[in-house]
Amino acid sequence: MQNPLFDALLAPHRGSDDPFIMRPDGSSVTYGEFFEAVTRTAGALKSRGLRPGDRLALQVGKSVEALHIYAACLMTGVIFLPLNTAYTADEIAYFLGDAEPGLFICDPDRRSELSRVAGKTGTEFLTLSQTNTGSFADLVADADPIEAAEPRSPNDIAALLYTSGTTGRSKGAMLTQENLLSNAEVLVEEWRIARQDRLLHALPIFHAHGLFVAVNTTLATGASMIFLPAFQIDAILDALPDATTMMGIPTFYTRLLDESRFNAALVRTMRLFVSGSAPLLADTHDRFADRTGHRILERYGMTETGMNVSNPHDGERRAGTVGFPLPGVELRITDPDTGRDMPDGEIGVIEIRGPNVFKGYWGMPEKTREEIRENGFFITGDLACRDAQGYVRIVGRNKDLIITGGYNVYPKEVEMVIDEADWVRESAVVGVPHPDFGEGVVALVVPENGSVPNLQALRERIAGGLAKFKQPKEIILIDDLPRNTMGKVQKNALRDDYAELFMQKRAG
Ligand code: AMP
């Protein structure tokens, strides 16, 4: 019997002496060692009575042992549910209640707080620290390895990943064996990932980017990775000369560019830099190319679909775009109201169909029906247009669209004009309640360090470039944009912070 993910990603590595993981302290793990530890971890899961289809929730710091657990879930057919380490006890209570995992593993530091939460939902609870101590580590040390993987079919759920949930309840995306495997295979092909590659891995592993995109493509090819606990600039600069690829969020690249030590000599062995999870500014792309000679390959994806669209490996990587649909992925850009296809060059919602599209939201059949059409297209909620050569350009989330006085304003369009000013580092444009217009356009602008902001000149630039209704009614300077761990600007936080802006003015 088969287990497609196990057969493709794990079984080939049994007994191999090839290097898999290098840690910053110089220690390393071969594929054979990893495989052996996975069989023991799988034994530990079985000893706790976990069966195929049960869920295992994991909220621990990034470690090789956390990867053992992921791989052991694949082997035993247990559905892997990784959780952001930033989640609070209240949030954890929601996930445990919603997913009803058979086991929850968290960091020993949070034992007292989270054991109470797990107690309420009656969830079995064990601990694992980043240095492999805790009750789960003890269980694995005593466990008998298992030999054979549980049979699984392509349509069986392999992982449950909760979306970041910026509006309403966070939803658990059910990702199947086929979703994960097809995506890993297409990325290996498209990005030319091979056994000789050594990936610089500094992303979190509770998210699709660091887990599936980075780890699954490595396992699929027998490549190796330098496994850093987080993005820490000195460790990155040390590791770069030994790496051939890096996957990052845009903040990684801006932070590298802020470093005078970062230069072309340091990336001599690199062949590919990939960016995603949030928009990479065209300016960052260009400055990175000037500094290193490398054009960052920007791609677009989401929890529900894995990777959808990518700039080409060979051929022009166009700054400010995410490229073309991956092979096997169908993309439509549609009118959000009618669902009809939009002509090229016009903005609409991205819809995606393909083997990468998730099976639905856990326990939410109605939400699933709202977002996955009967014909199989998933409505992503991202707004985009396609240029004449077919490159897809994302302009924001549908829910971030501003409607002011009945007119649509796409924040990105305004942000691009603002970002052109020399002294501007970056900006975020949001709509907040306005007594006359429904929503009023507000620009939050972050100046470059040490620059002298010239708001008058900025207003003139905006007036010269944008129709009156798109022009921000307020421009506010701030030190930093609020971002989540994946580098996404938290526009809902900004909308909350400035919700009273126009209402107060009127009252005043
Ligand atoms: P997540 O489910 O956390 O992976 O977030 C997915 C969302 O991130 C997408 O729906 C997009 O809004 C955003 N996103 C991912 N990659 C890009 C990109 N290259 N450019 C702009 N937005 C992106």
List the pLDDT tens digit at each of the 508 positions of the chain.
799 999 999 999 999 999 999 998 899 999 999 999 999 999 999 999 999 999 999 999 999 999 999 999 999 999 999 999 988 898 899 999 999 999 999 999 999 999 999 999 999 999 999 999 999 999 999 999 999 999 999 999 999 999 866 556 789 999 999 999 999 999 999 999 999 999 999 999 999 999 999 999 999 999 999 999 999 999 999 999 999 999 999 989 999 999 999 999 999 999 999 999 989 989 899 999 999 999 999 999 999 999 999 999 999 999 999 999 999 999 999 998 899 999 999 999 999 999 999 999 999 999 999 999 999 999 999 999 999 999 999 998 888 889 888 778 889 989 999 999 999 999 999 999 998 888 999 999 999 999 999 999 999 999 988 888 899 999 999 999 999 988 899 999 999 999 999 987 665 5
358 C-alpha to ligand 1 centroid (Å):
16
Please tell us whether the domain made up of 189-397 is placed in CATH 3.40.50.12780.
Answer: yes
Instruction: Give the number of the atom of ligand 1 that is nearest the alpha carbon of residue 322.
Output: 19
Evaluated on CA atoms 383, 388, 392, 395, the torsion sign reads negative
CA gap 50, 103 in Å, rounded:
8
Q: How, if at all, do strands 172-176 and 157-162 pair?
A: antiparallel
From 394, 395, 484, the mutation candidate for ligand 1 (largest count of ligand atoms within 8 A of CB) is 394
Distance from the CA of 464 to the center of ligand 1, in angstroms? Answer: 31
Q: Which two tokens stand for residue 496?
A: 């909350």
What's the predicted TM-score (pTM) here? 0.91
Q: Do domains 4-152 and 189-397 have the same CATH topology?
A: yes
Ligand 1: residue whose CA is nearest its atom 7: 302
In this structure, which residue's CA is closest to atom 20 in ligand 1? Answer: 279
| 275 CA: nearest ligand 1 atom | 19
Task: Take atom 9 of ligand 1 and give the residue whose Cα is closest.
Answer: 302
401-507, CATH topology level = GMP Synthetase; Chain A, domain 3 (3.30.300)
For the beta carbon of residue 280, count every other beta carbon within 10 angstroms: 26
- Which of 488, 489, 491, 492 to mutate for ligand 1's pocket (most ligand atoms within 8 Å of CB)? 488
Contact call for residues 170 and 92 (beta carbons, < 8 A): no
Crossing angle for the helix pair 111-121 and 89-99, to the nearest 10 degrees = 30
- Tokens for 459? 């207003």
* Half-sphere exposure at residue 53, Cβ-oriented, CA atoms within 13 angstroms: 4
User: In the beta sheet, which residues pair with residue 274?
Assistant: 247, 297
Q: Say if residues 459 and 398 touch (Cβ distance below 8 Å).
A: no
For atom 8 of ligand 1, which residue has the closest CA? 277
Q: How many CA atoms lie within 13 A of 167 on its CB side?
A: 8
The CA 482 to ligand 1 mean position distance, Å, reads 16
Name residue 363's amino acid: G
In sequence order, the β-bridge partners of residue 382 are: 397
Q: CA nearest 412: which of 491, 495, 474, 311?
A: 491
In which element (H, E) is residue 438 found?
Answer: strand 438-447
Instruction: Report strand pairing: 348-353 vs 360-361.
Output: unpaired
CA-proximal residue: ligand 1, atom 4 (nearest):
302
To test the ligand 1 pocket, which listed residue (251, 297, 300) has its Cβ within 8 A of the most ligand atoms?
300
Q: Is 504 exposed, middle or buried (0-12, 13-18, 19+ CB in 10 A)?
A: exposed
Distance, CA 277 to ligand 1 centroid (Å)?
Answer: 4
Nearest to 470 by CA among 398, 392, 416, 397: 416
Biggest CA-to-CA distance, the chain: 73
Per-residue CA distances from 19 to 23, 35, 37, 260 (Å): 11, 12, 15, 32
Distance 50 CA to ligand 1 centre (A): 33
Residue-level pLDDT at 169:
76
Region class of 499: left (phi > 0), else alpha (psi between -120 and 50), else beta: alpha
Helix (H, G, I), strand (E, B) or coil at 93: helix
Integer angstrom CA distances of residue 483 from 342, 461, 490: 31, 27, 5
Using the atom order of ligand 1, give the atom closest to the CA of residue 303: 2
* Confidence at residue 467, expressed as pLDDT on a 0 to 100 scale: 85
Q: Which residues form ligand 1's pocket by a CB distance below 6 Å?
A: 163-164, 208, 276-279, 298, 300-303, 322, 380, 382, 394, 397, 486
Phi and psi angles of residue 314, each rounded to the nearest 5 degrees, phi first: -100, 140
Residue 91: predicted pLDDT: 86
Q: For strands 125-127 and 157-162, give the pairing.
A: unpaired
Token pair of 106, please?
A: 């968290």
Report strand pairing: 330-334 vs 348-353: antiparallel
- Pairwise CA distance, residues 90 & 94, whole Å: 7
Residue of 249, 230, 237 whose CA lies nearest to 296? 249
**What are the angstrom distances between the C-alpha of 473 and each of 66, 389, 403, 469, 505?**
48, 35, 13, 9, 12
Q: What is the pLDDT of residue 143?
A: 98
Atom of ligand 1 nearest to the CA of 394: 21
Rg of the chain on CA atoms, in Å? 23
Q: What residues does each domain of the chain span? A: 4-152, 189-397, 401-507
What's the rounded Cα separation, in Å, for the pair 348 and 392? 11
The CA 375 to ligand 1 mean position distance, Å, reads 23
Ligand 1 site-directed mutation target among 382, 393, 491, most atoms within 8 Å of CB: 382
CA-CA-CA-CA torsion for 466, 467, 469, 473, nearest 10 degrees? 40
Query: How many whole angstroms separate alpha carbon 126 and alpha carbon 141?
Result: 14
Tell me, in angstroms, the distance from the centre of ligand 1 to residue 116's CA: 34
Q: Just give the CATH number of 4-152.
A: 3.40.50.12780
What single DSSP character describes residue 214?
Answer: I
Residue nearest to atom 21 of ligand 1 (CA): 279
Instruction: Return the residue whose CA atom lies nearest to atom 5 of ligand 1.
Output: 302
- In order of 57, 206, 307, 448, the CA distances from 251 in angstroms are 28, 18, 19, 15
Q: Closest Cα to atom 1, ligand 1: which residue?
A: 302
Q: What is the pLDDT of residue 436?
A: 81
Q: Please report the DSSP string for 169-193 in residue order.
A: S--EEEEEHHHHHHHHHHHHHHTT-
Write the DSSP string, 119-187: HHHT--EEE--TTS-SHHHHHHHHPPP--SPPP--TTSEEEEEE---SSSS--EEEEEHHHHHHHHHHH
